[in-house]
Amino acid sequence: MKTLRVLAALWLAVAPASSQVIGTPVHTGPSASAPRVPLALSFAATPQSLTDLGARMRVSLTSALDAVAATPVPQRTFSTTVKAMERAYAEYYEAVRPAVFLASVSPDPAVRAAAEALDKAADDMMVELGQREDLYRAAQDAADKGETLDGPDRRLLEKTLRGFKHSGLGLSPEGRARMAAIDRRLGELSQTFGRNLRDADLWLTVAEKHLKGLPPATVAGLPRTEDGKVRLRLDAPTYGLVMERAASRGLRRAAYYKHGNAAAAANAPVLQEALALRHESATMLGYRNYAEMALAGRMAKTPKRVWAFLKRLRSSLAAPRDAERKELRDYAAANGAGKLRPWDTGWWEAKLKRERLGYDPEAAREFFPMDQVLRRTFGIYEELLGVRFAEVPSDGAWHPEARLIELRDAATGERLGRFYLDLFPREGKYGHMAAFTLVSGRELPDGSYREPVSALVGNFTRPTGGRPSLLRPGEVKTLFHELGHIMHQLLTTSRNWSQSGSATARDFVEAPSQMMENFVWRVETLTALSGHYADPARTLPPDMASRIVADKFFSPASDALGQAVLAAFDLAVHSSGHADALATYEKVVKAFLGKAPAKGVNFPARFGHIMGGYAAGYYGYLWSRVFAQDVFSAFERAGVISPETGRRWRSAVLERGSERDEEESLRDFLGRDPSEKAFLRWLEKRSSPILGA
Ligand SMILES: [Zn+2]
């Protein structure tokens, strides 16, 4: 570790640009000259072909793993066990992942259903294989030999053993049976929790006169009762609309309690049972609590570090948050409001924002035609990362609207990877915007390198009435963000499949994309990306550009502290097996915000994150943001659009995946330990120049 760090520091001092460092002693990836080998992809699937593929790949994966398990003990080495298993999984997923992807994008409902079934079958098989004692023994025998491994391989070995350990393979037969029962029960509880929320009664019946402030088109579309009252279902967008727009305090108050307690009675015991079971399984595996177990493979490593981080945030953000709150209270008081209750805050905030920073998103989007934004976004990435984008025919894709882009290294012209763009909504298509890894980069047995392939899936407005597809500023930001993930996936040079691209620790994976968002929230970038669809020479008016940026920085300290509360609550309930969730929540809110939350609402019973994949992981949103801002500060010091800094970012972090500790990569890039300073400065960056103007 120490030697590595010294070398890394040396490298920083001598290496001028990324492409030259590939192959130097500190870089353990394949050499730059390793040819990238594309995989022929076919998306012309039928339900039957998907079922057949699943069966075929299951057989070949199982037989490859059987061969590993059959390796005689004397021949068990890292390469014949851990590495051989990883290769088997890589080959399996190279065939299965592009097929499973069809569940999100295929225009054929039968294909989507078959792809979903394949996905489920693959997941089930992975759980099953993770329980195989013979494979665990093989890996453990290899580990016991104490071979000298380099960094990436050592990490792969540790991760493999930890995976087996977490599925209970180090336990007695009774322990393992108990563990399996806990896992099954936790799966059921998670489903029940989600179902209770989905099925909860969210209906309010109100007289139409109470709906003042809501958009007339929305009100007109609402169902009525026989006596002419309006029925309102408080799903997420409607609830948001009511809390921000409804002039009636009574309606907002009713909505607050109805929504806040939607599934409280049913979900409170479900959550409590899940917390106890998680604690039990963690202690069975030798951890003190679930939080400790969950963090073992993450960048943060221990709950103690996260607690210290959250406490620092609390003390740094207290004053700026109070200032934000005071401004809001003063504004409300000046407009005749009394004491602000929880159902008042959102309404006054939205009003203040509209009044002082308001811009019309519909007018703004006329300056962001999709194709132009894409081209110019590519241009910024090209300059920063030393790459070139080129669109090529997308024959054989799953839909005529899918486009294919090649990514090349600007210096060598070598093709590094490819990615698809599928950007318009369709019936049955994935409804958000996301970057999918279809094929991960990895070193092949003959020393060549598997060329990675990704897909960027989105849902922008289609061209209509003579206007091209036009993006709202928030969509421009999301495009920038997701393209950040695509670059992380395609620029990889990691040798090992499971460490390549964006396969990094969960509390780090968002950092590269969050970092890129900073480029968008600048007047200069927004202007550079803009050009009116009817007259491209007309760029975004400066006043509108400033307002878009200011809107983003409206109440950053309050927002971050709100996230810190949830992160602290999540960590606190996962630090003991018997803490009452609601009481813990009230305690945390009091500690972070100075006063207890409003009585009569059970927030934990509707906090889906901790029953989904984010248990003891909610802090990750803030944690990765710290690194995003720290890294961006290096770009700022170098003049923001700095190709030299971008090249270093590419080689120190993007190319490295998780083949070394993410913190090590950051240190390599920054030339020092990561720091929270830039993050805290960013949270204090208020939109005051416009406020009050
Ligand atoms: Zn993301």
Q: Which of 389, 396, 436, 393 is nearest to 415 (CA)?
A: 389
CB 485 within 8 A of CB 502: yes
**Contact assessment for residue 231 and residue 224, using Cβ atoms and an 8 Å cutoff:** yes
- State mean pLDDT over 619-643: 95
Active-site annotation holder among 94, 482, 655, 662:
482
Of 671, 572, 60, 679, the C-alpha closest to 306 is 572
- Measure 324 CA to ligand 1 centroid, in angstroms: 28
Distance 483 CA to ligand 1 centre (A): 9
Give distance in angstroms: CA of 513 to centre of ligand 1.
Answer: 6
CA of 55 to the centre of ligand 1 (A): 32
- SS3 percent helix, strand, coil of the chain, rounded to 5, is 60, 10, 35
Which pLDDT band, with edges at 50, 70 and 90, does 262 fall under? Answer: confident
Return d(Cα 500, Cα 493) in angstroms, integer.
7
For 134, the enclosing helix (H) or strand (E) is helix 133-144
- The Cβ of residue 75 has, within 10 Å, a number of other Cβ atoms equal to 11
Residues 6+ apart with CB under 8 A from 648: 17, 18, 669
For β-strands 415-422 and 453-457, DSSP reports them as: parallel
CA of 211 relative to ligand 1 center, distance in Å: 36
Residue 15 has a pLDDT of: 28
**3-state DSSP assignment of residue 416:** strand
Determine how many CB atoms are found less than 10 A away from the CB of residue 251.
22
Token digits of residue 604? 């934990």
- Is the confidence at residue 618, as pLDDT, over 90? yes
Burial annotation 458-488 (CB, 10 A radius, 16+ → b, else e): bbbbeeeeeeebbbbbebbbbbbbbbbbbbb
Architecture of 364-503 per CATH?
A: 3-Layer(aba) Sandwich (3.40)
pLDDT band at 195 (very low <50, low <70, confident <90, very high): confident
Q: How far apart are CA 151 and CA 494, in angstroms?
A: 12
What pLDDT does 17 receive? 29
How far apart, in whole angstroms, are the C-alpha atoms of residue 114 and residue 111? Answer: 5
How confident is residue 648, by pLDDT bands cut at 50, 70 and 90? very high
**500-527 as b/e: b if 16+ CB within 10 A:** bbbbbbbbbbbbbbbbbbbbbbebebbb
The CATH number of 34-171, from 3.60.70.12, 1.20.1050.40, 3.40.50.10470, 3.40.50.10490, is 1.20.1050.40
Tokens of 614: 């984010």
> What percent of the chain is predicted at pLDDT more than 70?
94
**How far does Cα 127 stand from its chain's mean position?**
23
Q: How far is the CA of 621 from the centre of ligand 1 (A)?
A: 10
**Nearby residues of 207 by Cβ (< 8 Å), 6 or more positions away:** 229, 230
pLDDT digits 0-9 by tens, 669-685:
999 999 999 998 888 77
Separation CA 273–CA 185 (nearest Å): 10
CB-side neighbour CA atoms (13 Å) of 308: 7
Span 517-534, pLDDT tens digits = 999 999 999 999 999 999
pLDDT (average), residues 432-447: 94
| Closest by Cα among 605, 527, 529, 622 to 568 | 622
Q: 10-41 pLDDT, tens per residue?
A: 222 222 223 222 233 334 445 556 889 999 99
Contact 407, 490 (CB under 8 A): yes
Question: Roughly how many angstroms between the first and final C-alpha of the chain, as a whole number?
Answer: 54
pLDDT at 6: 28
The mean pLDDT value for 353-370 works out to 86
Q: Is the pLDDT score of 689 beyond 90?
A: no
Gap between the Cα atoms of 233 and 48, Å rounded:
40
Spell out the alpha helix ranges (H) of 594-652. 620-637, 643-652
- What is the percentage of the chain residues whose pLDDT exceeds 90? 72
Burial of 65 (0-12, 13-18, 19+ CB in 10 A): buried
Ligand 1 geometric centre to CA of 97 (Å): 19
CA distances from 406 to 7, 132, 451, 466 (A): 34, 40, 11, 30
- What are φ and ψ of residue 406, in 5° steps? -100, 140
What is the pLDDT at residue 9? 28
d(CA 682, CA 639): 17
Q: How far apart are CA 131 and CA 69, in angstroms?
A: 13
Domain ranges of the chain: 34-171, 201-261, 364-503
- Helix ranges (DSSP H) in 285-336: 290-295, 303-334
Cβ-contact 299, 623 below 8 angstroms: yes
pLDDT at 22: 28
Mean pLDDT of 55-79: 98
Decide if the complex's ipTM is over 0.95.
Answer: yes
pLDDT at 326 over 80: yes
Please tell me the predicted confidence (pLDDT) of residue 432.
83
Distance of CA 606 from the midpoint of ligand 1 (Å): 23
CA distance 561 to 212: 32
Please give the residue that has the higher pLDDT: either 297 or 537.
Answer: 537
| 286-307: b (≥16 Cβ within 10 Å) or e | ebebbbbbbbbbbbbbebeebb
Please list, residue by residue across 21-55, b when 16 or more beta carbons sit within 10 angstroms of its beta carbon and e when fewer do. Answer: bbeeebbbbbebebebeeeebebebebeebeebbe
Is 422 a residue whose pLDDT tops 90? Answer: yes
Mean model confidence pLDDT for the chain: 90
For ligand 1, the distance from its centroid to the CA atom of residue 630, given in whole angstroms, is: 18
Cα dist. 505→298, 341, 378, 678 in Å?
Answer: 5, 39, 27, 22
Write down the pLDDT at residue 519: 95
Give me ligand 1 centre to Cα 456, in Å. 11
- Cα(89) to ligand 1 centroid in Å equals 25
On the CB side of 246, CA atoms within 13 Å amount to 27
What is the whole-number distance in angstroms between the Cα of residue 478 and the centre of ligand 1? 8
Those residues with Cβ within 8 angstroms of residue 73's Cβ, 6 or more apart along the chain or in another chain = 141
d(CA 114, CA 120): 10
- CA 475 – ligand 1 centroid, Å: 13
pLDDT at residue 259 tops 70? yes
Residue 233's DSSP bridge partners are 203
CA distances to 281, 292, 360, 575 from 288, rounded to whole Å, are 10, 7, 52, 8
In the reported structure, the alpha carbon of residue 482 is separated from the centroid of ligand 1 by a whole-number distance in angstroms of 6
- Quick one: 221 exposed, middle or buried, by C-beta within 10 A (0-12, 13-18, 19+)? exposed
- Is residue 252's pLDDT more than 90? yes
The backbone torsions φ and ψ at residue 618, rounded to the nearest 5 degrees and listed phi first, read -65, -30
- SS3 state of residue 192: helix
Ramachandran angles phi, psi of 36, nearest 5°? -90, 125
199 CA from centroid of ligand 1 (Å): 29
**pLDDT recorded at residue 550:** 87
Side-chain-side CA neighbours of residue 78 (13 Å): 17
CB 271 within 8 A of CB 581: yes
* Catalytic (active site) residue 482: yes
**Ligand 1: centre distance to CA 435 (Å):** 8
With tokens 């008016």, the residue in question is 541
pLDDT for the residue numbered 686: 64
Ligand 1 centroid from CA 486, angstroms: 10
Report which of residues 3 and 514 the model is more confident about: 514
**Distance from the CA of 379 to the center of ligand 1, in angstroms?**
21
Q: Which amino acid is at 606?
A: R
Nearest-CA neighbor of 18 among 651, 549, 569, 534?
651
Q: What letter would DSSP give residue 442?
A: E
Least trusted range by pLDDT, from 84-98, 211-225, 316-330, 443-457: 211-225
Distance 172 CA to ligand 1 centre (A): 40
